[in-house]
Amino acid sequence: MLDTSGVVFLQLGAMAALALYVAANLGANDVANSMGTSVGSKALTLRQAIIVAGILEFSGAVLFGQGVSETLATGVVNAQVFAAQPQVFLIGMVSVLIACGIWLQIATSRGLPVSSSHAVVGAIAGFSCVAAGINAVDWRTIGTISLTWVATPVASGALAALFYSVVKYSILDRPDPLSQMREWIPWLSAAMLSVFGIIVLPSVVNVALVQTGAIAAAHDRFGWNLPIHDIVIGIGAIAAIGLTLNSWKKLESVEKEEERRKKEEVKGDKGFGPSTKPSPTPTVPHTLIEQQMARFQVLSACFVAFAHGSNDVGNAVAPLAAIAYIRRTGSFPSGDFSVPLWILVVGGAGIVIGLTIWGKNVIATVGEKIIELQPSGGFCAELATATTVLLASRLGLPVSTSHALVGAVVGVGLIKAWKTVRLQTLLSIGSAWLVTIPIAAGLAAIIFSIAQSIGQF
């Protein structure tokens, strides 16, 4: 017969497997947020997107995912209600894992990008109502999240429309787009690295320099007082300058290749007279512009994938972290609640597994089935998505990256050619958004009720 420690180990193993299942579905569904537009615009192939996203999502989840799960684990419920009955909360969190895994898999199989954050919140609210009544839920938080359903895609869409308008009217529609592109490269580099740098770099600097004691050592030895924000700005400035110089060099080589091709066409006739071949089409400069934009888009997708892994892994592992805490302490998660490294590894591994097995469905929906994207539009959509999520985080508003990205893609489509936006796809996505919280809540409530009945029996 197994001793108590063996039983606890088996229970945690089973819960870890369940969290891995949820993380796999999250990876399959949410990674379209970072890679969908890159695949849709042909900046990356599906295989390349899966490999790049897998590496960066796992790295972000394991290295910088510690601080995300606390609010999801305890912020939606009334802590006073469950403080006296932590075992009930534990059973509820198991129900949350099962309910979220089922709903995310259903949505992913249909290619629908839904919010894993909303699924977790809905599931927690669902079991809490059954366990301790409606007063066990913080309804103000639920109301705020509901408002973001409308605000997030609208704000992101407006920003994407603004960004794409600037690119379209300042570069693409000009008589000499290559010359305009050369002038705009520094601004595009600065815009992208400013937005993504603010999301990623503070966490990187904090872990790499603050937690390792490097900044403190530099102060003790040299008397240097290095604020984190100054280091972040310095790294961002160096990166922006480097990206600008590299992009100029790439653009120059492309222009030289294009000039060489034109000369060969002129010399194509045997008499070396004027060429009888048709002149290059006006789309050639635009093709070169899109090649340059593809490089920016791939880099932006990498930043989004890393940031997504570091932020959204909490949606999958927050319930597991709460379960592990209760099993270890026998009490409701309190101020010392944190996520162990092994749980982050489980979440990161699950994201990669799900992305590899099922991710192509949602990537195809976001990247190809709303509008036909080119790299210039995909870059603007990703930049708008990151900006929206960043501003919301600064204001303390819970938002969905899925909602932001879909809104951004639509915003680009409205400026590019509004008649090409596929309304049927948007209706399917919108319906999935609307039903996520009630379905997750209902599933969690049913599963919790069954689990309680089995326990009492």
pLDDT given at position 161: 93
Each residue's pLDDT tens digit, 9-32: 787 788 888 888 888 887 777 666
Q: Report the distance separating Cα 247 and Cα 32, nearest Å.
A: 26
| pLDDT (average), residues 396-419 | 78
pLDDT given at position 280: 44
pLDDT given at position 206: 74
Task: Mean pLDDT check: name the lowest of 147-151, 326-330, 370-374.
Answer: 370-374
Residue 268's pLDDT band (boundaries 50, 70, 90)?
low
Res 440 pLDDT > 70: yes
Each residue's pLDDT tens digit, 305-335: 776 676 667 777 778 888 888 888 888 777 6
pLDDT given at position 58: 81
Residue 95's pLDDT band (boundaries 50, 70, 90)?
very high
What is 307-364 written as a DSSP string? HHHHHHHHHHHHHHHHHHHHHHHSS---TT----HHHHHHHHHHHHHHHHHHTHHHHH
pLDDT given at position 445: 93
65 near 313, Cβ under 8 Å?
yes
DSSP letter at 419 equals G
Residue 186's pLDDT band (boundaries 50, 70, 90)?
very high
Paired strand residues for 137: 77
Q: Within 13 Å and on the Cβ side, how many CA atoms surround 245?
A: 6
Res 159 pLDDT > 90: yes
Each residue's pLDDT tens digit, 282-291: 445 567 788 7
Q: Which residue has the tokens 């300058």?
A: 241
pLDDT given at position 278: 47
User: Quick check: helix, strand or coil at residue 225?
Assistant: coil
pLDDT given at position 74: 62
**What's the mean pLDDT when you consider all of the chain?**
77
Task: Mean pLDDT check: name the lowest of 295-304, 378-387, 408-417, 420-429.
Answer: 420-429
Q: Report the distance separating Cα 415 and Cα 182, nearest Å.
A: 23
Res 442 pLDDT > 90: yes
| pLDDT (average), residues 40-46 | 73
pLDDT given at position 446: 94
pLDDT given at position 397: 65
pLDDT given at position 162: 94
| pLDDT (average), residues 69-94 | 76
- For residue 378, give both structure tokens: 């995909």
What percent of the chain is modeled with pLDDT above 90?
Answer: 7
User: Between 424 and 385, where is the model more confident?
Assistant: 385
User: Between 173 and 208, where is the model more confident?
Assistant: 173
Residue 3's pLDDT band (boundaries 50, 70, 90)?
very low
DSSP letter at 279 equals P
Task: Mean pLDDT check: name the lowest of 92-106, 119-133, 210-224, 441-455.
Answer: 210-224
Q: Using a CB cutoff of 8 Å and minimum separation of 24, what contacts does 43-51 make?
A: 43/294, 43/297, 43/298, 43/301, 43/375, 43/378, 44/298, 44/301, 46/360, 46/363, 49/301, 49/363, 50/355, 50/356, 50/359, 50/360
pLDDT given at position 370: 64
Which pTM does this prediction carry? Answer: 0.75
User: Between 250 and 141, where is the model more confident?
Assistant: 250
